[in-house]
Chains A and B, each alone.
Chain A
Amino acid sequence: MFTWAIPIYTPPYPGYGASSALVPNVAVGVMLFMAILSLITIATSIYTNKPLPKEEREFPDDLEDGGGFTQVGRVNLYHLASIMIPCMLLVVAIEHIGYMLASFAFLMILQYVIGSRNWIQSIVLSILLTVVLYIVMRYGFGVPVPGPQISE
């Protein structure tokens, strides 16, 4: 993507200094070189039928000695979608229905998604968090909350 974007979205050379595409090209060059190197390592190990070195395996979490503070492992797409979709909906909804309603609905959905089935606790937490952050932003920092305001 960068190899396509750099020539299109980089200003032309002004005639002095280094080209504005130089550093992006170096960064992307390093990325490409390292990616190709890793692919060669994988291809070689498949060709020679030898296991990959442990640091180059796709999921180091599968190793017996894995763990510690590395957080590598398989991607749980269902979990990811269940959190990301409400977040994205909040970004869209907040501009249309306002901060209060959108935030309350978002927090209710989020708590349901992560496993909360205590409705009273969910409602209390959603209202409290929405109101507290409204007060902190509006009166503490003087920043208007996103979307239509209550007074409008």
Chain B
Amino acid sequence: MEMIIAGLLDSITLASLMFLLLGVTIGVMIGAIPGINGPMAIALFIPITYYMTPLAAIGFLVGLNKGAFFGGAVSAVLLRTPGTPEAAATSWDGYPLTQQGKGEKALRMALYSSVAGDLISTVVLIVIAAPLAAIALFMGPAEIFALISLALTVIAGIGTTSISRGLIAAGLGIAMGLIGTEPVTALPRLTFDVYQLGSGLSLIPVAIGLLAFSEILLQLERFAGKGSGVHVTTKFSSKLEDRLLSMKEFFANTKTLLRGSLIGIGVGAMPGLGAPVASFMSYDQAMKRSKHKEEFGKGRLEGIAASESANSSVVAASLIPLFVLGIPGNLAAAMLMGAFMIHGMQPGPLLFKENAQLMYGIYGSLILASLFLLLIGRFGLRFFCKTVNIPALILYPIVMFTCIMGAYLGKSSMFDVGVMLAFGFIGYFMRKFDYSYVAFLIGFILAPEWERALQQVVIISQYDTFMFFQRPVAMVLMGLTLFVVVRTFWGSIHAKRKKKQVEAAAVAAGQHKSD
């Protein structure tokens, strides 16, 4: 109990509150700019957190991520260009409302739904993470190895249309993650005799290059083709009923909000799915269950509530696998995992045992971040609407130069800037040829832990090949891994066969008609 109170008190120190507020504010501003999302913002700002206390750093980054999730809705509603992929479903009903002069009302609905979904999800995280982590403590190296294998297999399917390309990206990420000092012999491995690689590739330059720099390269390419940037007028209706959201309007969507939040929690807690899936799933369910299906897509507040509550509840829920098992469920969680490691902590079940006070401090920060989001969103809505108008010619050089200096800041090394540029280059091609940079990055982060677990299994079992068969949980997890691989390939073969059958049936039906 003392630990809980001490942790919560830590989260309300002036420094923690200031960084949290700053994180949420920057997050909303960044999220509102199309093309810049939460994980990218975390990658850009992680170097700054070197100089903060662990709690302030994690609070700042969590606030940044939460803010970016809501920020994505701003450009989705005003421009029909979602600032983040998960806000796409918000634009379907948000933009029509803007066209009707009710943009402010749509944004208020998005804000309140985001905060509600986020709060519900945070409460679930607080209630279940610690007990689950206590159970996870019984897991040995065999289970951890099997679990990481499963996570890598599931995650290989994210961000690409092809599982084979996903696995290639994950394999490349693992190979890159193994560069540096080998844990058993303590000798350099795959360093090509470059002494700076002796301690391995740092996460920060790799993440900035892959997430931010490559994205800016692509944005600039698109921008060069189109000429000038976008401009949006943020003129809203002067009628109060078009601007404000009444209690009645908000509470009419309570069911949708709760359903969206639960969908978001379920999706967020499972590694590999991500916020866009939650948002589309929730929107689909809201439409199917609504009495006014025909109004969806034409400016229905229920659609915004469904999408925003679901995608925002993913933020806290995605921390469940991270805190309980040390497995990042999505890109933002992977970046947060990196931040934990930078501050000397290894996410996983031991986190609650070794850093209990800090964990309760983080819980406090998570709740406060939701409240700050409500306050900042409520009073700064009109200001954030203006951020979507920042000219690209000003924005891109700023982001690009920040990427370069951010990569330098970590170790004060120009070598890291070179690494960042190299991974920006690699990331550009990965995006162009549809190789999942998400799978790459998660493979890169999990590779050392995966290898450590394998080495422990081999040493403890004294080369017993059947070690996994003696551990039921490990066996189940390995079985699941195999199942995921077989099911994915079988699914694609089955889909092709079915398509052929449908095509053949269509051809036969056409011939029958012509006869």
Q: How large is the interface on B (under 10, 10 to 19, 20 to 34, 35 or more residues)?
A: 35 or more
Is B164 within 8 A of A114, CB to CB?
Answer: no
CB contacts (< 8 Å) of A68 on chain B: these are: 88
Q: Max chain B CB contacts within 10 Å: which of A75, A79, A114? A: A114
Which residues of A, 7-54, contact B by the 8 Å Cβ criterion? 9-12, 14, 16-18, 20, 22-24, 26-31, 34-35, 37-38, 53-54
Is A70 within 8 A of B161, CB to CB?
Answer: yes
B426-468 CB contact bits vs A (8 Å, 1 = yes)? 0011011110000000010001001100110011000000000
Complex CA gap A10/B185 in Å reads 10
CB contacts (< 8 Å) of B175 on chain A: these are: 2, 24, 27-28, 31
A-B contact count (CB 8 A): 182
Q: Which of A11, A35, A106 contacts B185 (CB 8 A)?
A: A11
Complex CA gap A137/B405 in Å reads 9
Which residues of B, 371-420, contact A by the 8 Å Cβ criterion? 392-394, 396-398, 400-402, 404-405, 408-409, 412, 414, 417-418
CB-nearest residue of chain A to B393: A116
Q: Which of B193, B401, B458 contacts A18 (CB 8 A)?
A: B458
Is B171 within 8 A of A31, CB to CB?
Answer: yes
Q: Which of B405, B429, B492 contacts A75 (CB 8 A)?
A: B429
Query: Chain B binding site: helix, strand, loop or mixed by DSSP?
Result: helix
Is A79 within 8 A of B221, CB to CB?
Answer: yes
Is B434 within 8 A of A72, CB to CB?
Answer: yes
Instruction: Decide yes or no whether A148 CB sits under 8 A from chain B.
Output: no
Is B224 within 8 A of A23, CB to CB?
Answer: no
Is A115 within 8 A of B224, CB to CB?
Answer: yes
Q: Which of A27, A29, A69, A111 contacts B393 (CB 8 A)?
A: A111
Q: Max chain A CB contacts within 10 Å: which of B48, B171, B459? A: B171
10 A-B residue pairs with CB within 8 Å: A14-B185, A20-B182, A31-B168, A34-B171, A72-B432, A80-B221, A110-B400, A125-B397, A141-B51, A144-B412
Interface, chain A (partner B; CB < 8 A): 2, 5-6, 9-12, 14, 16-18, 20, 22-24, 26-31, 34-35, 37-38, 53-56, 58, 60, 68-76, 79-80, 83-84, 87-88, 90-91, 94-95, 103, 106-107, 110-111, 114-116, 118, 121, 125, 129, 133, 137, 140-144, 146
Lowest 3 A-B CB distances belong to which pairs?
Answer: A11-B187, A31-B171, A27-B174
